Structure 1
Amino acid sequence: MLMEECMRECMRKLALWNTRNFKPVMAHDELEPIMATLGFVPLPLPPSADWREYYYCGSAAVAAPAPDQPPPSPRLPYPRIDGLHLHTYSAFLDALNFHLCRPDISDIFHIRGMPLHKVHDRSKKWRRIEEDDSVFVYREGTLDQAACAHYQKNKNENSSGIKRNNSMLIRSKGNNMPKALVVPLTDIIGR
């Protein structure tokens, strides 16, 4: 029992952080005002919704990634958005970046690890993110399978020498952290 408690103390979850005020965004009610300033509105939730999608109402017209595919919609599990898999956050940020056409989205959002909350997170089922012997975990049921397949395909293509053609979401520094997680301090406090 002591070993299990020690392991839980070492585990960390990922969270979406508002880079401008350096605060984690834990739920959609905190995310929606930020999204509104970027030109996104939440789509109505269907009954028993597990995910919330956002629609881009901004002025920039962008072409769909392929003629037979609609543009990507930023979406995250509902209602809590902390403790998700890295691929889920990456898909969300890639969809935002697609519509906003920004060279670096980390001045708005970044992904960062944080300790599990002793009371709130105790009752959740957690799965380990299986990359680089990470101590990061994600809530069971919050991994979008389409995003997982997409990023696994890109990872395999990168390892076979094919260059990935999307913007760098977040710069990586630090040991034992999933790639593309940590923003340099100069990006957080301004230049």
Structure 2
Amino acid sequence: MDDDLPYTMTLSPATEPIDEFVTKLSGNPVWLEAPQWPVCVRHDRPMAFIGQFRLPGREPCMAYLFMSERCEGSWDPEAGENALIVQPGRLPPFIQILRGFTGPDGVHGDVHVDLDEVDPKCLKPWESRVLGQPEWLQSEEFPPGAWSFFFQLNESDCTCANFGGGVGYGFLSADKLEGRFLWQC
């Protein structure tokens, strides 16, 4: 992947569970390292897994997206109600994890994601994409500090997430070892 060009996401149901280090939604994560399942700080229970995103580069590097199943307050990137965990990487200081928890049993419904390079002028409004530039549903809202845009996910493309009918945005630190996630509706 070229870091400067956007890639649109084309989603299709997987015929079997996806067990590779690829971008996918739903199901359970395919951990690159030891599982780091985050806990919602407000409700003290495991967050829901939304998807995993492979970072550009030859060596596998993954970002795993989780959200609290209740959405009040979870649009804040550092409130501990959503998490974008990078492996290999470092855990954000506001994230608590369940050691050894690999996810709920009986989870099905992996969604395969094809990434297609696209001319930025040809993007549809708020289209799910990786890289390029974010298209804000409201005003520009980068997390505090130095973060680069990684992906945006439109709720209409992803039945496993609740962004209040809106769009979610993932960001990476300059060293690509830590992530942040927020959403707008």
Superposed pair shares fold, TM > 0.5: no
Structure 1 length normalisation: TM-score? 0.27
More strand by share: 2
- By percentage of residues, which structure has more helix? 1
